[in-house]
Amino acid sequence: MKRKSIITPVGTAVWPKLNEPDTRYSTEGQFSVTLRLGGEDAVALMKDIDAFYAVGYEWHCQDQGKNTIKKCSSMPYEAVESDTGEKTGEVNFKFKLKHRVETRRGDTFIQTVALFDGEGTPMKEVVGGGSLIRVRGQMNPWFTASLGFGISLWVNAVQVKELAEASGGTTAESFGFSALEGGYATPDEMVQPNPLTEASSDGDF
């Protein structure tokens, strides 16, 4: 069964890895971005994925010569919840793309994500979390005996409507932490200086 190409509405980029592949968990490298949508945009994309899932499931049933086959337990989207566990009405859609691909015949090819600004001009700026983007990607159906049938979302290109700079990860906020009411506060004399902040304040960078 063939993949289906899609172009998403504009949403918020969460933990984007679009400029360089992430190699922490895979030597092949992987690009990724979670696109956060809300309202009718989220509902429409979920319906599109669900409809393609249904068609793909029937196709793979026929391909396996069975009436039913095992289904993967997860979908490439999930509802966003607040810190208290309440649904916010937004949905996260998880897109990925393998950087280095080896085919069954032993061939190897390299994939990258094409990045464009709001006017459609290629760009090299680092796309940070919080950027407003839309994704040109593919819905990819797959089946394995161990995991069953599932759908994954591939990212091929991204257009940036509003660019947010990538954070250096030097503050609590950059890691997603906010202040806890009644939380422990480090005494002033025990506070460790941030070497990046210190260097910046001394004019070294």
pLDDT of residue 171: 46
Give the span between the Cα atoms of 119 and 136, in whole angstroms.
Answer: 15
Residue 190: pLDDT over 50:
no
What percent of the chain stands above pLDDT 90?
70
Question: Tell me: the pLDDT tens digits for 79-111?
Answer: 999 998 899 999 999 999 999 988 888 889 899
Query: Is pLDDT larger for residue 183 or for residue 5?
Result: 5
What's this model's pTM, rounded to 2 decimal places?
0.78
SS3 sequence of 157-205: EEEEEECCCCCCCCCCHHHCCCCCCCCCCCCHHHCCCCHHHHHHHCCCC
CB 91 within 8 A of CB 36: yes
Could you identify the residue written with the tokens 């994925």? 49
Q: Which residues contact 110 (CB under 8 A, 6 or more apart)?
A: 99, 100, 101
